Amino acid sequence: MSWLTKNLLGLPAYLWLAALAAVVVTIISVAGHWQDRTIQIAQESGAIVAVNQGHETTLDQLGAANEAGNHIRNNTGHARYCECLLSATDATTSHCERYRPDELVPGGPDHPGEYCPGQ
């Protein structure tokens, strides 16, 4: 153990060992912090990707809903009349007559057929 008391560059060897141990502990601490931070950044990035995918899905659904609404508003076929009947109560179904198309429905004048599926 006499080597612990030898001087290296004017300092005893045990001080050099203590300094080396402090450097090793510092490196391990910094590496651990770097690893924790890297994991946190990866988790945040994954959350951002998930949120962006959710936004894309929402925008796609909104686009489909707008197209359906435009289809009804443009009065193509019987869609506007059917939509009115779906949202009307028994007392207000007569308000939907203004949307009833004037065109003939397959089935003839005696039996006009179904305007709306399930009606």
Residue, of 46 and 29, whose pLDDT is higher = 29
Closest CA to 101 of 77, 69, 70: 77
Residue 67 has pLDDT above 70, yes or no: yes
The predicted model gives 95-106 an average pLDDT of 69
The predicted model gives 61-83 an average pLDDT of 75
Angstrom CA distances, 26 to 20, 22, 119, stand at 10, 6, 77
Q: How confident is the model at residue 103 (pLDDT cuts 50, 70, 90)?
A: low
The predicted model gives 86-104 an average pLDDT of 80
